[in-house]
Chain A
Amino acid sequence: MNDLIYNAKNLSKSFGAISVLRDLNFAAARNKTHVIIGRSGSGKSTLLSLLAGLDRPTSGAIEFDGAALETRCNEELAQLRRQKIGIIFQSFNLLPSWTAVENVEAVLMHSDIAPDARRKKAVALLSELGLGERLNNLPAELSVGQQQRVAVARTLVNDPKVILADEPTGDVDPELGLEVIKRLVACVKNNGTTLIIATHGLFPLEYADKVWELKDGKLQ
């Protein structure tokens, strides 16, 4: 098996006349924590979107788990995200009209897992994250920290091979941010997950296996 979970070559992404990523090369080893640091607007979120298959590159190639990503159809990309890729968004992106447990369960819907089993799994994960009392609250009824933990639970519930985290500590206090990082890093150690974190702020580098800086559309 290839040691690299991701291998992106000459990756470019433009929005109209604005070029965000330019001939970027990125390789991520399995079972490691990769940190991409960059200023706001440097293209970190765009890069994660391309790695998650949420968007398509203007040019270049992305190899994921030994297979080309950019040539897959939308349905295949959706399947890939459901089975192998977990995403934590900067603004959490929880469904506002769904409760905490329903948000976590959403990842397991339309699958072979029985409704009872997926509910059990979501409840167990949220309880583990200290949200056992908040299962039936809507996101608007939760604090920012609690929302973040729901987002983390949603990411972990399908045991992904890769976790892509966009500013996971951006909107929470440092103590809570560190707690989230520890939990994600624990997944790397315990489950063999690969963690790719994009951040513009300070990151406790002792948790990182590899640190990249995104500048002028390229990784350095």
Chain B
Amino acid sequence: MMSDSLTCAIRELRRRKLRTATTVLGNLLAVMAMVMLASVLVYSRSSKDNVLNNLGTHFLAYVPAPPGTGDAADECFFADPARTSLIPLSTVDQINANKSLVLSASGFLLYRLKDVDKKFVHVGGFDPANPAAVNGSSLQKSDIIAGEFIAPGQKGVCLMEEGFALVRQMRIGERFPIGNKSFKLAGIVRPGIRPAKADVYIDHEEARELISGRLGKPLGPFANIVIVEVASSQIQPKTIEWVKTLLPGCMIDTYACYDPAARVMNMGQKSIAVLLAVIFAGTVLLMARTHWTAINERWRDIGILKSIGWTNSQVVSQIMLESLLQSAVAGLLGGLAAVIVLVVLPLKNFLGSEIAFSTTSSLQMLAAGVVLALVTGLLAAAGPALAAARTTPAESLRR
């Protein structure tokens, strides 16, 4: 019996080509729009999440020196503006070992010393091989404005802050004396506003030797600042709290841009959810209208079938099958068209995103589009089909 309904449904769709094409096209466009918009919104959200996760993931931790330690005119370890105590490198290693919270951590030496002219020079000792140090809050390769960055293991060279180099009239390749050594100027950097900013940056081992000379005793395995790169900005507050337990009384310097950004992003995600709901509702309504129009043209046919002995359930099942067949085709073609357009479009450049567009999410959207089309087709057809079933054959024939 069902095969009769299917036969009649296919026959009806094939014979009424224009109406079928119009209905399929209407549904196809609705599904295509839905899949495209939803894909773009989901992709946009992923991009934002990606940005958010890498936003403000670095912070500095240092322990201020007890009050009354030293004199303002003395050479000292510092983290602007405070004098600092020293932190064992074993603590830095302990921080570094917690991979659930920390991507990497490195010790940083920031020492204020007087040069030959009795002027203060802020020397920063960092490990060029450590990503936390290089990409962290001290210095980045992208900060170079002239010359080259210090390569891991490279000795006898230094980087100089742009303003300091200008005042000291230093050029690339010239040597700059610090303490009893001189360093070849490899590059000039513009580090911008950073919590731990030095005038001159050198390799951490050379900095250790230099500072040991100034202190008159070996420095030992210590740093005065820990640079931490958090695994994700979303766990930054938790990581900071944990580091504070390892370094009692420590101070934390961070750009702290995660929280406000997260709040804005969260608002954005809610907007996306609302927008998706609106798109979904719009798609359902558009498809429902297309089906309703198609079925409303068939009142007389329905009346004829009922007058020759077709039951309501037989009439309804045929109408539903017609709608489902059209919806399935429209859903598949609409979804495919959307995926093709999305793959062809330079969406990454268009949205200014740094992550590649994922077709996986589009395929999920394609599947969602087909399901949406089928459900909508079913719901949209059910209304007029049941309405047609409720009317007497005579009423249907009179329409």
Contact = CB atoms under 8 A, between A and B. Distances in A.
Nearest to B1: A110
A97 B15 contact: yes
A192 B116 CA distance: 132
B311 A74 contact: yes
Given A97-B15, A109-B4, A52 B307 contact: yes
B267 interface: no
Contacts of A107: 308-309
B182 interface: no
A54 B305 CA distance: 11
Nearest to A81: B309
Interface in B256-307: 300-301, 303-307
B354 interface: no
Contacts of B312: 74-75, 78
- Dominant SS at the B interface? helix
B391 to A, nearest CB: 10
B82 interface: no
A75 B389 CA distance: 10
Nearest to B389: A74
Contact of B307 (A54, A74, A110): A54
Contact of B309 (A78, A93, A98): A78
A55 B392 CA distance: 6
Interface in A34-75: 49, 52, 54-56, 74-75
A79 B311 contact: yes
Interface in B1-44: 1, 4-5, 8, 11-12, 15-16
Interface in A66-96: 74-75, 78-79, 81-83, 87, 89, 93-96
B397 interface: yes
Contact of A81 (B308, B395, B397): B308
B242 interface: no
Chain A CB within 10 A, most for which of B1, B16, B304, B314: B304
A125 B4 CA distance: 21
A55 B4 contact: no
Contacts of A89: 307, 397
Interface string A149-168: 00000100010000000000
Given A54-B394, A75-B312, A97-B16, A109 B307 contact: no
Nearest to A83: B309
B49 to A, nearest CB: 52
B301 A95 contact: yes
A210 B237 CA distance: 99
A176 interface: no
A97 B12 contact: yes
A106 interface: yes
B1 A87 contact: no
Contacts of B394: 49, 54-55
B308 A154 contact: yes
Interface in A112-171: 138, 154, 158
Nearest to B313: A75
A81 B304 CA distance: 12
Interface string B384-399: 0000010011110100
Interface in B299-356: 300-301, 303-314
A154 B307 CA distance: 12
Contacts of A94: 304
A97 B364 CA distance: 38
Interface residue range, chain A: 20 to 34
Chain B CB within 10 A, most for which of A49, A82, A107: A49
B12 A110 contact: no
A110 B314 contact: yes
Contacts of A102: 11
Contacts of A109: 4, 8, 310
B229 to A, nearest CB: 70
A16 to B, nearest CB: 13
B308 A87 contact: yes
B319 to A, nearest CB: 14
Contacts of B308: 81-82, 87, 106-107, 154
A55 B341 CA distance: 53
Chain B CB within 10 A, most for which of A81, A82, A102, A154: A81
Given A93-B304, A97-B12, A98-B11, A55 B309 contact: no
Nearest to B393: A54
Nearest to A112: B1
Interface string B116-131: 0000000000000000
A108 to B, nearest CB: 9
Contacts of B397: 54, 89, 93
A95 B8 CA distance: 12
Contacts of A97: 11-12, 15-16, 301
Chain B CB within 10 A, most for which of A89, A93, A109: A109
Chain B CB within 10 A, most for which of A54, A79, A94, A107: A54
Contact of B395 (A55, A93, A96): A55
Contact of B311 (A55, A75, A106): A75
Interface string A164-206: 0000000000000000000000000000000000000000000
Q: Which 3 A-B pairs have the closest CB atoms?
A: A82-B309, A55-B394, A97-B15
21 contacts: A54-B306, A54-B307, A54-B393, A54-B394, A54-B397, A55-B392, A55-B395, A56-B392, A75-B311, A75-B313, A78-B309, A78-B310, A78-B312, A89-B307, A97-B11, A97-B301, A102-B11, A106-B310, A138-B15, A154-B308, A158-B309
Given A106-B310, A110-B310, 7 more contacts: A55-B395, A78-B310, A79-B311, A96-B301, A97-B301, A107-B308, A110-B314
